[in-house]
């Protein structure tokens, strides 16, 4: 303390984020990740170009969200705007499916299929090509700026931006006809909205996969926070065999393994981990169950002549019941039938059946009648009463259709369509039409009289009916 002013340095409450340099490793799980990453990227980039013939009056892109015409297409499925509940049901189904997979196989989604994991793996591949593996990247970052460092860094970021640009470009293809949009973009055309989305998604991909990486999984994704609620003692997780591995310590060739563990504390499992954690400390919230630490440990075991399995996929129950000193090399014993897995299976079967049956049984024709609210009815000069209605007709077929509107159940009732002499309506293919309809009738016995409007197709098809009401007295107000 000098002249009342503290000379002590301020206390740092937060540690600076440490950059993680994952080391490349070869092995079973690394090969699986390469294969699955390639499949996922191929699906994402190429799916918009798959064609699906729906007839001359509908788009032929297999997967398309048509914002202009307010339709969503997925192969043979077509969703209209008022059917948003299908999207909700599908999202609920997907969430339960992920929870089910997690209860069985741990965070298999995070390790192999998550968008963040797939694109981070791709960005890391570019980084290794331009800057080298772990040791070279660490050395390059610590070195002063030079031409060698500059061109490697610039090349890395240009590669990332290129991938981000393709990612953003592929995303907007799902909302437009893919070949047409590609041609328009190459020619410098298309709206500013499309360009904004492309560059916005380019930036987000560049940021998330290039810089945020493990921070997205640890701090931004809620899945990591409630994964423990999905696990039980029979869930398959990445496990370190402490009974076999401890006491750990350095090992020299020719030394006996008596009285010590098989872990030689080489830290290879830590160096290859994309999350930068030490799996030997137990299951942690950051672990994405990618299996790379298993590949690293198995490689070391091969070098020192010991069996695989010091780090492996296993369940908490199996690890607890394992005898001290036992070496496990077989595939883990799984209890697939247990209360939560049975419940998830039944829930998925029920929800999936409801969604599928609902989609298959949807009518191709639909009619909805809305009675006017103001005025509720009009008294004509001849003493009759007139009610007004708005009739909405949906034609899901891919051909234009004509229909005749008739009414029944209303004594003396006459139906007419505004601006038309005949009660015939036409609806374009895969579209909806709205008509203004009037019904005239004498004053009825009841203030509110129910009746039926029937929509009869001129071509093949079953008539569709809907019930509404006719108001003819003041008491109905």
Helix (H) or strand (E) holding 294: helix 292-304
Q: pLDDT tens across 63-107, in order?
A: 999 988 889 999 988 998 888 899 999 999 999 999 999 999 988
pTM for the structure as a whole: 0.85
342: in domain: no
3-class SS of residue 147: helix
Q: Are the C-beta atoms of residues 435 and 391 closer than 8 Å to each other?
A: yes
Q: Among the three residues 321, 356, 378, which one is the final residue of a domain in this structure? A: 321
Tokens 């040791």 — which residue?
Answer: 135
10: in domain: no
Residue 27 CB neighbours (<10 A): 19
Q: Which distant-in-sequence residues (6+ apart) come within 8 Å of 450 by Cβ?
A: 409, 467, 468, 469, 470
Same domain membership, residue 224 and residue 235: no
Assess whether pLDDT exceeds 80 at residue 475: no
Q: pLDDT tens across 270-316, in order?
A: 999 999 999 999 888 899 999 999 999 999 999 999 999 999 999 99
Tokens 């010590």 — which residue?
Answer: 260
23: in domain: no
Same domain membership, residue 271 and residue 190: no
Mean per-residue pLDDT for 398-405?
A: 91
Q: How far apart are CA 321 and CA 89, in angstroms?
A: 41
**Backbone φ and ψ of 179, nearest 5°:** -60, -40
Q: What is the mean pLDDT of the chain?
A: 90
Same domain membership, residue 410 and residue 269: no
Same domain membership, residue 461 and residue 406: yes
Same domain membership, residue 154 and residue 92: yes
Same domain membership, residue 216 and residue 180: yes
For residue 306, give its domain range.
231-321
Tokens encoding 58 = 């509908």
Same domain membership, residue 213 and residue 134: yes
Q: Among the three residues 162, 196, 228, which one is the final residue of a domain in this structure? A: 228
Total structural domains in the chain? 3
Q: Among the three residues 228, 252, 269, which one is the final residue of a domain in this structure? A: 228
**Backbone φ and ψ of 126, nearest 5°:** -60, -40
Assess whether pLDDT exceeds 60 at residue 6: no
326: in domain: no
- Express as a percent the part of the chain with pLDDT over 70: 96
Same domain membership, residue 51 and residue 125: yes
Residues in a beta bridge with 441: 385
Q: Are the C-beta atoms of residues 371 and 29 closer than 8 Å to each other?
A: no
**Backbone φ and ψ of 118, nearest 5°:** -65, -50
22: in domain: no
- The predicted structure's pLDDT at residue 476: 43
Comparing 371 with 324, which gets the higher pLDDT? 371
Q: Which distant-in-sequence residues (6+ apart) come within 8 Å of 324 by Cβ?
A: 243
For the chain, how are helix, strand and coil distributed in percent, rounded to 5? 45, 20, 40
Q: CA neighbours within 13 Å on the CB side: how many for 173?
A: 24
- The predicted structure's pLDDT at residue 82: 86
* Opening angle at CA 270, ends 264 and 276, nearest 5: 160
Same domain membership, residue 273 and residue 249: yes
Mean per-residue pLDDT for 351-360?
A: 93
Q: CA neighbours within 13 Å on the CB side: how many for 189?
A: 6
Same domain membership, residue 210 and residue 253: no
Q: Are the C-beta atoms of residues 167 and 201 closer than 8 Å to each other?
A: yes
- The predicted structure's pLDDT at residue 14: 63
Q: How far apart are CA 180 and CA 190, in angstroms?
A: 10
339: in domain: no
Same domain membership, residue 161 and residue 32: yes
Tell the burial category of 125 from Cβ atoms under 10 Å away from its Cβ (0-12, 13-18, 19+): middle
- The predicted structure's pLDDT at residue 3: 57
Assess whether pLDDT exceeds 70 at residue 4: no
Same domain membership, residue 469 and residue 370: yes
Q: How far is CA 376 from CA 25, 321, 456, 471, in A?
A: 76, 76, 27, 7
Tokens encoding 15 = 């540690």
214: in domain: yes
- The predicted structure's pLDDT at residue 69: 86
Task: Work out the widest C-alpha separation in the chain, in whole angstroms.
Answer: 114
276: in domain: yes
Assess whether pLDDT exceeds 50 at residue 477: no
């Amino acid at each position: 303390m000098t002249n009342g002013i503290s000379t002590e340095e301020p206390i740092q409450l937060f540690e600076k984020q440490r950059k993680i340099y994952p080391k490349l490793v070869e092995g079973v799980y690394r090969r699986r990740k390469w294969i699955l990453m390639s499949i996922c990227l191929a699906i994402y980039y190429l799916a918009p170009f798959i064609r699906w013939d729906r007839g001359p009056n509908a788009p032929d892109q297999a997967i398309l969200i048509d914002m202009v015409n307010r339709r969503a297409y997925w192969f043979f499925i077509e969703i209209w705007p008022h059917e948003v509940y299908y999207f909700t049901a599908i999202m609920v189904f997907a969430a339960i499916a992920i929870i089910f997979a997690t209860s069985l196989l741990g965070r298999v989604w995070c390790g192999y299929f998550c968008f963040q994991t797939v694109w981070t793996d791709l960005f890391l591949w570019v980084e290794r090509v331009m800057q080298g593996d772990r040791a070279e990247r660490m050395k390059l970052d610590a070195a002063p700026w030079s031409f060698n460092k500059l061109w490697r860094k610039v090349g890395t970021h240009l590669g990332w931006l290129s991938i981000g640009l393709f990612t953003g470009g592929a995303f907007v293809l799902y909302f437009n006809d893919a070949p047409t949009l590609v041609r328009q973009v190459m020619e410098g055309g298309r709206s500013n909205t499309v360009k904004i989305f492309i560059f916005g998604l380019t930036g987000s991909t560049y940021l998330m996969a290039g810089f945020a990486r493990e921070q997205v999984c640890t701090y931004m994704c809620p899945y990591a926070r409630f994964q423990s609620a999905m696990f039980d003692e029979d869930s398959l997780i990445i496990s370190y065999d402490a009974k076999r591995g401890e006491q750990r310590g350095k090992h020299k060739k020719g030394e006996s393994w008596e009285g010590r563990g098989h872990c030689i504390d080489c830290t290879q499992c830590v160096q290859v981990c994309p999350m930068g954690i030490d799996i030997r400390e137990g299951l942690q919230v950051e672990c994405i169950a990618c299996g790379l630490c298993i590949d690293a440990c198995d490689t070391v075991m091969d070098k020192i002549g010991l069996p695989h399995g010091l780090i492996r996929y296993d369940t908490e129950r199996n690890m607890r019941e394992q005898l001290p000193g036992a070496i496990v090399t077989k595939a883990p014993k799984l209890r697939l039938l247990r209360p939560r897995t049975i419940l998830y299976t039944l829930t998925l079967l029920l929800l999936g059946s409801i969604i599928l049956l609902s989609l298959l049984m949807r009518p191709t024709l639909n009619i909805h009648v809305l009675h006017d609210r103001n005025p509720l009815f009009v008294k004509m000069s001849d003493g009759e009463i007139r009610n007004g209605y708005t009739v909405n007709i949906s034609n899901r077929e891919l051909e234009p259709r004509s229909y005749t509107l008739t009414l029944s159940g209303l004594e003396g009732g006459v139906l007419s369509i505004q601006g038309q002499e005949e009660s015939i309506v036409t609806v374009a293919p895969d579209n909806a039409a709205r008509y203004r309809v009037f019904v005239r009738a004498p004053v009825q016995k009841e203030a509110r009289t129910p009746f039926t409007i029937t929509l009869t197709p001129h071509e093949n098809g079953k008539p569709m009916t809907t019930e509404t009401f006719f108001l003819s007295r003041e008491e109905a107000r």
